[in-house]
Amino acid sequence: MMKIIPLCIGIVLSATSSFSHAAESHTAEALKHAEAATKANDGKKIAEHAEAAKGHATVASEHLTAGIKSLDDAIDQGKLGHADVAKKSAEEAVTHLKAAK
């Protein structure tokens, strides 16, 4: 029983680290799948890779859009002198821009 607990912890940690890596590299994953589509010779494989690329590109685009909105909010709030709100918006922008990678 005691040997199983560290094993389970290791599995959970490795699974979550791969999820966070995937979330941090949507653009790279989109490019990887798009390049794989150009190298595939089978129509179904091309479509599979293109769909995967599109999915990652869409997520990256959504994060970029949200990041830009947060930056706009930071600009607007900063110009109004609302430093705390502006800072929070800038922090949200950083989170979205990192997720879009």
Model confidence over 63-81: pLDDT tens digits?
Answer: 999 999 999 999 999 999 9
Helix boundaries (H) for the chain: 4-23, 26-39, 43-79, 83-100
Structural domains in the chain, CATH included, are 16-100 (1.20.120)
Model pTM? Answer: 0.69
Please give the share of the chain, as a percent, with pLDDT higher than 90: 70
DSSP designation for 2:
T
